[in-house]
Structure 1
Amino acid sequence: MNETIIERYTKEVKSESLGCTIIDPYIILNTNDAILELGSGNGNFAARLSDTYDSSIRITGVDLTPAMVLKANMVNKRDNISYMCSDIVHIPLADSGFNVIVSNCVINHIADKEAVYREIYRLLKNDGYFLVGDIVSVGWLPDEVRNDPSAIADCYGGAIPEDIYLESIKKAGFNTIEIISRRQYEKNGFPIESLLIKGVKK
């Protein structure tokens, strides 16, 4: 599965944005905050965030695709941004290191979404929050779609119903969850919703 995702996103290395929603207006940062981006791509979001705030904030980007990390490192001229290649279920970073964790249309690629949110919970400081843009299905997708690596890499095959998705977040330890925005659309004939979700670690 990872090979299919890497192949797809290696082809997208020059794309400006691969997200499914807009996160920027909802991010609130303080001086010296540490931010982690899951699925940092070619670094456009981190660069934009760094330019919006002063250089006291520290941004770490994680991406599965080596070509994306290489591109991000090539264009990054900022001392407060760093990138690393890793999956998002087992990230080699210390516990409770981040004030904010963001991700945009990435977690749907992972079958065990609860495992991703457990990792987010582990990495967040107390009272830290996540902002995640991701997709959910309107009802269950057919098995042939859910088991198709190409459909999963194309940002719809990994979608699960909203109630199941939100339950996976709660099981990971988050009790304070808010859906900030939603948008419904069709992907290859299947109804999909993109959500922007906020959760706070208490």
Structure 2
Amino acid sequence: MDDDAGFSAELTSALGGARRRAVRDGDRQIDTAHLLHSLLEHDPLVRAAFAEGSQLARLLGYLVQRSIGYGLRWQSGVEDSGALPVVTAAVTDPRPAPDAQAPLAAAGAPVIAAQAPPAACPLAEGFSPLATAALDHARVRAAARRAEGRARPGEPARGVDLLAAIVADPGARAVEVLTRAGVDPLALRARVEAGLDVRLPGGGSTC
């Protein structure tokens, strides 16, 4: 993926890692669980969004069991719950469906206002429908941040944008993994929306 794809260097590396893991494990598509695992490996800001080190260690320990355990039942299916819209030229509101947004609003997570969506992700081939929608939603989230003056013009989507997108859908495989590892997806997204997406631990800005 090149810079024109609209993703940060860390997110680009994570996408490459997710693709390699899916190929290595013989999975049909790259799904949100692949994306979550690779984001944790490649993006320190994503790791910082977790409440404590033990929580992160438990999650990583669960993720590595995929190829020999729970992930085997996913190999014959397609990840697509439909709660996150796939962003296309015909879509004017990139927000999750109302029933998906309700629990997020209850958790205090802000909702991104509707706006003209960016071009669809050019590297979505090989991704599950839900993962494809999450990638496009991450770019929408980054565009909203730029429009609100919370990011520099041209700043690409980052790993935390994708993290927020993949945990927004309760049907995502990443959400199942998080839940089984004892991580509350709603609390995680609320932490991202509250500001952990702009600063690393210790106060250093990512901008």
Q: TM-score, normalised by structure 1?
A: 0.27
Higher-helix-fraction structure: 2
Q: TM-score, normalised by structure 2?
A: 0.27
| Structure number with higher relative contact order (C-alpha < 8 Å, ≥ 6 residues apart) | 2
Higher-strand-fraction structure: 1
